[in-house]
Structure 1
Amino acid sequence: MTLEDINALPADQMAAFLRTTCTAERWIERMVAARPFKDRTDLLDSARIHWAGTNADDWRQAFEGHPMIGDIDSLRAKYHASKDLSNAEQSGATGASEATLAALADGNKRYLKRHGFIFIVFASGKTAEQMLELLNARIDNSTEQELKLAAQQQLKITLKRLDEAISET
């Protein structure tokens, strides 16, 4: 989709497009209202500005838009090499061991129980082992710390998704 396409979308279709990048409704509403965007930089800057105007409730809403990695089968699908993996956000996480996959599944469940939301991390280029290290490093943080860290990670994810969704032609 080009920037011109985005600027021309009816509000409901623009909201649906934005929902594929971030599910925080307040952010979506503000982004829809911010159009037209002059260029890619303007779009991404607007995303940053409007994310900065969100709060913990918005962040949690955005986190709910992510699937939780909670079972071995979904972890295998996500972290083992496949022809589609290059398009996935976790493209660097190939060939994970069964022990790592099991530890990720367990860690994600413990994280959710402790903090009340799923573990959010900008995963592009990270291996399953790196993801596990990050999860283990963050799990004992306070929930307040984790909300802020996860919100920062969510912004990185959103910006990458927006950037990749915009074509030049």
Structure 2
Amino acid sequence: MAKFATRVRNTEGAPLTSVDAFNAVDADAAAAMIHPCCASTAWARAVVAGRPYADRAALSDASNPVIKGLSWADVEEALAAHPRIGDRPKVAVSTEKRWSQGEQAGVADADAEVLTALADGNAAYEARFGHVYLVCASGKSAEELLGILQDRLDNDPAHERDVVRDELAAITRLRLAKLFG
């Protein structure tokens, strides 16, 4: 497992592995390869069980229905790997944390007022829904992310779970593209 985690950490921005390599390794190694894309063990097992994949598009297409079918406990496992929006670690020690930093790049230059509002919004969201506010942050400014958060606070819990699954699927697609390029 460590062999593949090291391989993932060595390159940023370029494809990190091939679908053929993913198809060829044993199930545990394959699950370790894709874990940075979605931290749900059930997701990784199901995606690995669907091998072989012809290409990244087929792999990505297979991921979406798996995410939709995850139990809520499995979604929560994936959510546990995501930092709060605006609450970025100083040092990225894992692939997931490095990817989260890049995905949240729009927050990097936010002023103190927006960062405070995001922190307050994160707390309100977590109090209302019981989990971290998950949004596909790539390409969005801090102000946009705050607006989305504020809008989603009005969702009923069942609808919000559907939104979270959609956001998790979007993030996973982006990360699969990074991993398999």
> TM class, shorter-chain normalised?
0.7 to 0.9
Report what 1:6 is aligned to: 22
Alignment match of 1:46 (pick from 42, 57, 62): 62
Q: How does 1:65-104 map to 2 (within 5 A)?
A: 65-69=81-85, 74=88, 88-104=102-118
Instruction: Determine the C-alpha separation between the residues in 1 that align with 2:144 and 2:86.
Output: 17
1:33 CA drift (Å): 0.8
Number of equivalent positions: 158
TM-score, normalization: structure 2?
A: 0.79
- Kindly indicate whether residue 73 of structure 2 is the aligned counterpart of residue 57 of structure 1: yes
SS at match of 2:106: coil
CA deviation profile, 1:70-92 (whole Å, cap 9, x unmatched): 75xx3899xxxxxx99x701233
Alignment match of 1:35 (pick from 35, 46, 51): 51
Instruction: Determine the C-alpha separation between the residues in 2 that align with 1:144 and 1:125.
Output: 27
CA deviation profile, 1:91-148 (whole Å, cap 9, x unmatched): 3344211000011011111111111000000100000010000111111322211111
Instruction: Determine the C-alpha separation between the residues in 2 that align with 1:49 and 1:166.
Output: 19
TM-score, normalization: structure 1?
A: 0.84
Report what 1:81 is aligned to: none
Report what 1:80 is aligned to: none
CA contact (8 A) 2:23 2:53 kept: yes
Q: Which runs of 4+ in 1 moved over 4 A?
A: none
Please tell me the root mean square deviation across aligned C-alpha atoms, in Å. 2.3
Instruction: Determine the C-alpha separation between the residues in 2 that align with 1:3 and 1:141.
Output: 38
Report what 2:124 is aligned to: 110
Instruction: Determine the C-alpha separation between the residues in 1 that align with 2:54 and 2:89.
Output: 40
Gaps in structure 2 of 5+ consecutive residues: 1-16, 92-97
